[in-house]
Amino acid sequence: MSINRKFWISMMSYSVLGLLLVTSVVPIVMMLMMSLRDTLDIYGDFWGVPLRPKWQNYSSAMLALIEPMIRSLFLCFTSIFGVLALAAFCGYAFARLKFWGKGFLFFLIVMMMTLPKVLQLTPNFLLADWMQLRNTYTGLIAFYIGGGLLFAVFLLRSFFRSISEELFEAARMEGSSEYICVVKIALPLAKPIFVTIAIMTFLGIYNDLIWPMLMISSPKLQTLAMALQSFAPKAGGDAGDISNPDLGVITSGYVFASIPLLIVFLFGMKYYVEGLTSGAVKS
């Protein structure tokens, strides 16, 4: 391939990447600028710059959304702990132990992963209603853990199978039990996979709206996604009227709700990429 052809291919590639970057960043920048402006300014000049930032928008949004955010974070961290704790031992069992029906059970896990989430809503709702788990955090957490286990077990099984068997054999020769092999050998090595699973589980739960709307009817138990769905303060201070919404406060609410997602990716991106590239491609 000639040098000129390589140059033009590189230029075209970077141009496409630059265009995708701009189209991704512009909506975020516009949301940040709108969150610091008054509603009249936004209607008057949509592309305007907040020359005098209205920081009160964030204080209003935080007062309305801080409690739903705390509830959503509680659901996320509790569900993540349950998914990681159960998936670690299940993944190790499928990867290293021999038991009757192992292949068939893992086949069922893979098959259930192929089912669209929307098809599972009705049976899950009926099961939750039969177990009297509606309008409770227990009902949300139980089904979040059950749904997150499938991919977590699949990913951890692949990673544990990639670890050299000699490590476990040496530990067994020293008198270590299978539990010690899991805790002392398998789990420390699987740190990037755990971070990957935790981030993916966090994103799924934190942004979920359909399942909480089916399960929760009390305003005191609303998650952040539910609160944002009905978050429409009036441009005058009164809440609950969508005929004259305060666009500045609404957009500041969305920015405030995005902060946990940004923090998770900033601190976990390194392990997230490492986990995807290590555990997902090994068998």
How many residues are present in the chain? 283
Domain CATH code at residue 185: 1.10.3720.10
Predicted local confidence at residue 180, as pLDDT: 83
Q: pLDDT at position 189, please? A: 84
pLDDT at 283: 44
Lowest mean pLDDT among 19-28, 92-101, 113-122, 232-241: 232-241
Distance CA 260, CA 73 (A): 9
User: Is position 7 within any domain?
Assistant: no
pLDDT score at 85: 92
pTM > 0.85: no
CA 148 from centroid of its chain's CA atoms:
11
**Other C-beta atoms lying within 10 Å of the C-beta of residue 139:** 23
Task: Name the band, by pLDDT with cuts 50, 70 and 90, for residue 282.
Answer: very low
pLDDT digits (tens, 9 = 90+) for 147-195: 999 989 998 888 888 887 877 778 778 777 777 878 888 888 888 889 8
Could you tell me the pLDDT band of residue 235, with boundaries at 50, 70 and 90? low
Query: What DSSP character marks residue 183?
Result: I
Report if residue 8 sits inside a domain: no
- Rounded to 5 degrees, φ, ψ at 234 are -75, 145
Question: Is residue 212 domain-resident?
Answer: yes
What confidence score (pLDDT) does residue 45 get? 82
- Rounded to the nearest 5°, which phi and psi values hold at 245? -70, 150
Residue 17 within a domain: no
In this predicted structure, the answer to whether residue 2 has a pLDDT above a threshold of 80 is: no
Burial class of residue 73 (count of CB atoms within 10 Å of its CB; 0-12, 13-18, 19+): middle
Positive or negative: CA dihedral 170, 171, 176, 182: negative
Tell me the average pLDDT across 254-281: 76
Whether residue 146 is predicted with pLDDT greater than 70 in this model: the reply is yes
Residue 131 confidence class, pLDDT cut points 50, 70, 90: very high
pLDDT band for position 38 (50/70/90)? confident
Q: How high does pLDDT run on average in the chain?
A: 84
User: Has residue 240 got a pLDDT over 60?
Assistant: no
**Residue 153 Cα to chain centre, angstroms:** 17
Domain for residue 78, yes or no?
Answer: yes
> For residue 52, what pLDDT is reported?
83
- 25 assigned to some structural domain: no
CA distance 257 to 265: 14
d(CA 112, CA 121): 13
pLDDT at 1: 52
Q: Which residues of 89-128 are buried (b: 16+ CB within 10 A; e: fewer)?
A: bbbbbbbbeeeeeeeeebeebeeeeeeeeeebeeebbeeb
What does 21-85 look like in DSSP terms, one character per residue?
HHHHHHHHHHHHHHTTS-HHHHHH-TT---SS--THHHHHHHHHHHHHHHHHHHHHHHHHHHHHH
Q: Are 235 and 244 in contact (CB under 8 A)?
A: yes
Range of the domain at 195: 57-281
Number of independent structural domains in the chain: 1
Residue with the larger pLDDT of the pair 126 and 269: 126
Question: Mean pLDDT throughout 25-53?
Answer: 85
Residue 242's pLDDT band (boundaries 50, 70, 90)? low
Domain presence at residue 16: no
In a domain, 87, yes or no: yes
Please report where in the chains the tokens 């704790």 appear, as a residue.
85
